[in-house]
Structure 1
Amino acid sequence: MMSKTKPAPLPPDTVIGGYRIVRLLAAGGFGLVYLALDANGHEVAIKEYLPASLALRSPGELLPVVAPEKQALYRLGLRSFFEEGRALAQISHPAVVGVLNFFRENETVYMVMDYLQGASLQEFIVAARSRQRKKVLREATIRSLFDEVLRGLRIVHQHKMLHLDIKPANIFITDDNRAVLIDFGAAREVLNTEGTFVRPMYTPGFAAPEMYRRTGSTGLGPWTDIYAIGACMYSCMQGYPPHDAPQRQDKDRLEASLARLRGVYSDNLLDVVRWCMALDPLARPQSVFALQRELAREESPEPTPPRWWDRVRARLGLAGDDAREAASHHSQRSSFLEPP
């Protein structure tokens, strides 16, 4: 039996790799995220690899305890997490979370990232949904947002990486109005393909059907992230996630849901979502570029005002301080309520 005890976080004022821990920001099944200060006193977010199903750590301790039979799997995930940090550190794009450093210490790996302040897209959707208007987010907002996100995702794919955990909780809207992809899931996916690991947190509705097949990463590609992008767009229009892929394969209600949105959003935008969310990977856009081209094709785009997220914030009554969950790099299971 696996222990239900979660590994204890590092105490405040612990120094690792020259960074001083301030406090825990988030804890998920795959690791912990801290607010920390660098040598110059600048705030950073530090993500610690510590899968709860493979490792334990007592309060006040630095070293994780890994049972002998879990060592091989723990090291596999550790290596993947390290490689992910190394790959992300090569990417410098405003729409991709900046990895400033990564290092090994305490028999684990730490990824040092930009500390982001703002709110996740999920929080915007929940706030917008609560207003019970016909449109959850305006079409111009959705198009502008995903234009930014796709620019970042295209660079990620050009670096031969996949995100594998795109969802509204992992699209962060900063207080200076950038949309940023956070909390990559590739290292989690490596562990997931090993039969002995407890299935990590696929967020229902956003994971493509091929992610459920447990056949390694052979069937995964840019189209896998593109499915999740389509599901995020759907959530921005509907206010809820779509049904998860296994449910859709049993009885697909996507078409009926999109039909209810006709006249509220343009046919072009609905067609884009339908295309992205095809259950057959070959029926989806095969590259981000193909999707960008289609998303830019609408006939009469509404002009998008400058500082459009400020306007969204004002309309929703979302002050910057309301959702100061900085970083954001939370990897908790976060399907924001079930679809109706």
Structure 2
Amino acid sequence: MAQQANHALPEGFQLDEYRIEHQLSLGGFSIVYLATDPQGKFVAIKEYLPNSLALRGEGEIKPLISEDHMPTFRYGMKCFFEEGRALARLSHPNVIRVLNFFRANDTVYMVMEYEQGRTLQEFIQKNRPLITENFIRNVFTKLLNGLREVHSHKLLHLDLKPSNIYMRNDYTPVLIDFGAARQTLVSDTPMLKPMYTPGFASPELYCQRELLGPWSDIYSVGASMYACLAASAPQAADGRQEKDKLVPAMVRWEGKYSDQLLETIDWCMCLNHFYRPQSVFALQKVLTEKVIKPEILKKTWLDQVVGKFKRKIEAK
């Protein structure tokens, strides 16, 4: 089945106890709607509808799924449902709140709180002067509070990037759109194309998925901080493994931001997962420290990386 865009449910459609207002976003894995609950309060509803497995035409309600794709579709639906159940147990100001999840129209739905604001991706593109060191430290320290809560429940985000970090109008960040169900679906069913985001996905997402852990999300945090400074995604990890062309943050922004912040970004983005911060707490500790201790600096692999890069430039 050729991949194509699915049609959203029509405006005004009554979905369980919710009324669909309009479509908010359409991706390869799901459709997100703005809806109202029985009290008239806005909610966001995510519909499981991978366009590589299911097709819904205009004016239709139930998706069309071929017999060949049905087992994979059902397995993905189960993963999505279980993810909704796990997220519903989380209650943290920096993690999107899942209010409900249910089956309908031969698929499943996740109901979440509707947040006012914009994504960090939109924010950094439109507000370059506001992307100061203090801004990055404040946003990511708060975001890591949420990620720490996620990891404490034995969950991984696996799709952390600026477009999945939502900035409320008061500038507090919220983690949205978890990729765990997608990744589970992909790893168990090779027929589906991987759905990681180049530039932000850790090296172990491309291969060696058995190595996935908190450090995988931490790579994505580092890549997101790098993207905030660069206003674009860094080189993809698979490309870096073949030929690493990524200019270390310590080299690219030397003198513009503190060495400590730049070293922290490079530390998170190390290709070998053993050399990254192993926990959110370890990363938070460094992000909230004013100055990194000199003895830690001497031991870091970053001195070698930066020196090697500078020698390469001088040789040219």
* TM-score normalised over the length of structure 2: 0.89
- 1:12 equivalent in structure 2: 11
Q: 2:191 aligns with which of 196, 212, 230?
A: 196
Indicate the residue corresponding to 2:148 in structure 1.
154
| Match in the other structure for 1:177 | 171
Q: Distance in 2 between matches of 1:77 and 1:279?
A: 29
- In structure 1, the partner of 2:201 is 207
Instruction: State the match for 1:103 in structure 2.
Output: 102
Q: What does residue 324 of structure 1 align with?
A: none
Instruction: Give CA-to-partner distance per residue, 1:177-221, whole Å, 9 cap, x none.
Output: 321010000111012212111222x221100010001x5x42111
**Identical positions, percent:** 51
After TM superposition, give the deviation of residue 258 of structure 1 in Å: 3.2
How far apart are residue 255 of structure 1 and its match? Answer: 4.3
Cα RMSD, aligned residues only:
1.5
Kindly provide the amino acid, as one letter, of the partner of residue 197 in structure 1.
L
The CA deviation string for residues 224-276 of structure 1, in whole angstroms up to 9 with x for no partner, is 00000000111112222110112211222334553021111111111111111
Q: Which has a greater percent of helix?
A: 2
In the other structure, the counterpart of 2:276 is 284
Alpha carbons of structure 1 residues 247 and 32: separation in structure 2 relative to 1, 3 Å: same
Q: Number of aligned pairs? A: 291
Equivalent runs, 1:1-340 vs 2, <5 Å:
2-129=1-128, 137-193=131-187, 194-200=189-195, 202-213=196-207, 215=208, 217-299=209-291
**Aligned-partner Cα distance in 1 for 2:8–2:230:** 37
Distance 1:227 1:256 in 2: 14
Shift of 1:281: 0.8
**Partner SS state of residue 255, structure 2:** coil
Kept after mapping to 1: 8 A contact 2:249/2:265: no
Between 1 and 2, higher relative CO (CA 8 Å, sep ≥ 6) is seen in 1
Q: Is the deviation greater in 96-105 or in 236-245?
A: 236-245
Unaligned runs of 5+ in 2: 293-316
* Alpha-carbon separation, structure 1, partners of 2:218 and 2:132: 21
Report if aligned partners of 2:226, 2:249 keep a CA contact under 8 Å in 1.
no
Task: Tell me, yes or no, if the aligned pair for 2:83 and 2:180 is still in contact at 8 Å.
Answer: yes
- SS in structure 2 of the partner of residue 68 of structure 1: coil
| Higher mean C-alpha deviation, range 250-259 or range 79-88 | 250-259
SS in 2 for 1:289: helix
Q: Distance in 2 between matches of 1:25 and 1:220?
A: 31
Question: Match for 1:198: what amino acid?
Answer: K
Residue 106 of structure 1 and its aligned partner are, at CA, apart by 1.0
Q: What code does the residue aligned with 2:11 have?
A: P
Letter aligned with residue 175 of structure 1: N
Q: CA deviation at 1:299?
A: 2.8
Q: Structure 2 counterpart of 1:85, which letter? A: G
Whole-angstrom distance in 1 between the partners of 2:230 and 2:3: 35
- C-alpha change, 1:257 and 1:93, in structure 2 (3 Å) is closer
1:126 CA displacement: 1.2
Partner SS state of residue 243, structure 1 = coil
Q: Distance in 2 between matches of 1:294 and 1:108?
A: 43
Contiguous gaps of at least 5 residues in structure 1: 301-340
How far apart in 1 are the matches of 2:124 and 2:171? 16
Following the alignment from structure 1 to structure 2, what is the Cα–Cα distance between the partners of residues 80 and 162?
A: 13
Q: Please give the alpha-carbon distance, in whole angstroms, between the structure 2 residues aligned to 1:224 and 1:177.
A: 25
